[in-house]
Chains A and B, each alone.
Chain A
């Protein structure tokens, strides 16, 4: 990390601007807000995972102190609240659309996962709402449950949705099966692998919350929402709530305490609360308890995959065949049809030139919480599979895990994969060498011997991931089943006094946008960062936007660059008049306009004054004012890549796996702020190590109860469970945006899991261990090893 500074340019480690309010307790999160006439909501949730609702008795609850109204799913549906919307249209191989199980904001007839909301209690205080919710009597008729993916597609499996046989929502494919058949026919070596990518619970530390104000007189609603994409949510809510137009709705996401994908879906609870506020004509607030977060925040991953990799005798990859059962949960969450298809299988080529690839993905309903995007969203599942296969290939051919990768790396860019995507830029071998150097790969055997002397098993694992960020090219995404609209906008307003507002539809919930946007604008205008205010997360302030997910800050920042360029260009025209010189002679550098044809110079701030004064230039040729707006639609995704190297030590007596070293070389393209980017990698790698070793959402196979529904049961990473990481950047700037940035938010969570499991397998000398590599599982393997 280079030296931190308080003010700085693109590429410098500038200390964060947003910290000031957050370290002093002056952040404003949704639950902090209280409005006049505030009421509070609590949900009645099903204790069963699969049941029909035989009846709901509200009598005693309605008499509880402070209760204003209790709503059921039937009432909401009758009042006109439609089922939840889907954000992606996916077609099966046979061309039929995905079979979508209707998802009501409050269950109407049937329950399909434990914790599904059944009724909504609104009361004068939070405690009164919760007390009354506890006394609502719901009569359930229990139905058999199914949790396991393989069991869910059996003929005799309990069926979740009417008309959706074997719980199959879709069967989708990508790539050429004929080409793969031919590749396998010509191959001399092959490896096969079956694995589970474990289900994760996102656990942003701020629970979801919503506070809704409704004004019946002018049919105007304001929603304060913990969301990654408040601007984009406006359209969803306006339609769902039957508002006359989007103009009747303001959505605000103030400070938001982490997202990781889990605050990107359109959730049942939020729609129910907003609809209730409209029915009651009073502000309604709901804040999830952590137990509710565990049960109902969209979960991540949960794949069951089998794959085969065909090779020649030298270990050159010839063909890859993949079949995945993707657990959708009880319903298809907003973006999940995209996550399990085009965000996942498109990345199965990894960093390797594999001429033939075919993947088939079946989406399956089970009695579990709906799954959706979680840090990486499909790319971690792809990277985990291909990077595990690469190590199996190395074992099969009898070469080192670095060598098998070198033999297969893509070396020319742009590179068109057989799976739609076209990689922008990269230097995969350079990155590998940088990571191996950082990890002292050559010295591993000596460290292993030292561990052995202490009775410990030491292993080293590599992963060479590539992913797709900067989502995304609207036209391509629309052609794949999305609604397009994947650009980002940025408006820059320069005030007469020279202060600057930067407004963007991206949303900051930890990424440091307030700092990075200011860094870029400060550098372009040659003005201090403290004259710049970055505004996000409020539809009354922001003209348009599509939010923050998929490491797409580069999209919004590119729009900012274009708006800066427009302002600077307009300034040149104004200054040409001020200096009475030709436009072509005016240059702008370091905040100063000048011309070889004049002794005078004009500072940016003076130009801003003149732009508003409108007295020094002809207003029939140049409009007064100084505002510029840009929309940036990227021509392609960006493809960050990197090599992660994990070293573990295993205690065969206890089965505990300790990560003793973790090093990573990452290509994020140009890095705007190394301090912030390293922080993103720290967090991502930690979540990745945690998936590999500790985190696992477990449903009871007999009754589909979530057994890991608290911080006492779910394996969150804690401060005492990790080593310090060694990081370096190995940038190949992307040509797809003006900043050359690729994105860094998900990389750690993508690169780390296979690196950890490859290290565990190396230590134990086994082909595969499913995640998480828990002490119990590892202890059993150690025992088996001793016996053999």
Chain B
């Protein structure tokens, strides 16, 4: 068992976990932050995407101990109170989700895309989302939501 110190959604937390515990399991099982989802076992689906020190990371690809001391942002930490992050609001406005299971990972990835590309065009968003699988939407409204979310984030910046 290892004692791992993390900063999650602005809060300092400690997790006691096996060395082999993945970050995604530390978040879900130990911290009960179940908004981060697990959709595959080969780091392909992107449902578990969170931000580690400001960058999008598939939380099934790193061990919790590797994230020790890092600043982690999950889907639960995006909104301030009832005020949604502009990307969350865009997913609602443009019907960017159906079953909602891939959505937390999509939104975390979308924000990362905007952080790196500013206001990306449709082709850029499609290429950047290649590592996030959605089975419901055919991606169309997700793409619209990400582009609109990027505009709104730009206006707020």
Contact = CB atoms under 8 A, between A and B. Distances in A.
Given A206-B39, A716-B133, A679 B33 contact: no
A207 interface: yes
Nearest to A4: B93
A26 interface: yes
Nearest to A204: B135
A255 B101 CA distance: 9
A683 B135 contact: yes
Contacts of B40: 290, 710-711
A679 B139 contact: no
Contacts of B125: 719
A22 B95 contact: no
Interface string A705-727: 00000111000111110101100
A720 B142 CA distance: 12
Contacts of A83: none
Given A4-B93, A682-B141, A722-B138, A258 B18 contact: no
Contacts of A204: 99, 101, 135
Contacts, number: 179
Interface string A10-27: 000001101111111111
B76, B98, B104, B107 — most chain A CB neighbours (10 Å): B98
B35 interface: yes
B44 interface: yes
B129 A22 contact: no
Contacts of B32: 34
A126 B38 CA distance: 14
Contacts of A23: 75, 84, 88, 91-92, 97, 100, 103-104, 107
Q: Is the interface of A mostly helix, strand, loop or mixed?
A: loop
B37, B93, B101, B130 — most chain A CB neighbours (10 Å): B101
Contacts of A258: 98-99, 101, 135-136
B99 A25 contact: no
Interface stretch (A71-79, A427-435, A504-512, A580-588): A504-512
A289 interface: yes
Contacts of B143: 719
A108 interface: no
Contacts of A28: 34
Given A206-B101, A258-B99, A722 B44 contact: no
Contacts of A127: 18, 20
A22 B133 contact: no
A312 B15 CA distance: 76
A342 interface: no
B6 interface: no
A635 interface: no
Given A24-B75, A127-B18, A257-B37, A205 B134 contact: yes
A16 B75 contact: no
A722 B139 contact: yes
Nearest to B40: A290
Given A24-B88, A205-B101, A718 B39 contact: no
A34 B34 CA distance: 11
B92 A719 contact: no
Interface string A391-413: 00000000000000000000000
A20 B34 CA distance: 15
A256, A290, A511, A687 — most chain B CB neighbours (10 Å): A290
Given A719-B142, A725-B140, A511 B98 contact: yes
Interface in A188-211: 202-207
A291 interface: yes
Given A206-B101, A258-B98, A679-B95, A25 B36 contact: yes
Contacts of B99: 204-206, 255-258, 509-510
Contacts of A256: 99
Given A20-B92, A205-B99, A679-B141, A25 B33 contact: yes
A257 B42 contact: no
B47 interface: yes
A205 B34 contact: no
A609 B139 CA distance: 46
Contacts of B101: 27, 29, 204-206, 255, 257-258
Contacts of A29: 34, 37, 101
Given A25-B74, A719-B143, 7 more contacts: A31-B38, A205-B47, A205-B135, A716-B133, A718-B129, A718-B133, A720-B130
The 3 closest A-B pairs by CB, nearest first: A25-B35, A257-B101, A22-B100
Interface of B: 18, 20, 28-29, 32-42, 44-45, 47, 74-76, 78-79, 84, 88, 91-93, 95, 97-104, 107, 122, 125-127, 129-130, 132-143
Interface of A: 4, 15-16, 18-29, 31-32, 34, 126-127, 202-207, 255-258, 260, 289-291, 509-512, 675-676, 678-680, 682-687, 710-712, 716-720, 722, 724-725, 748
10 contacts: A16-B97, A20-B92, A23-B92, A23-B97, A25-B76, A29-B37, A205-B39, A205-B134, A682-B138, A748-B138
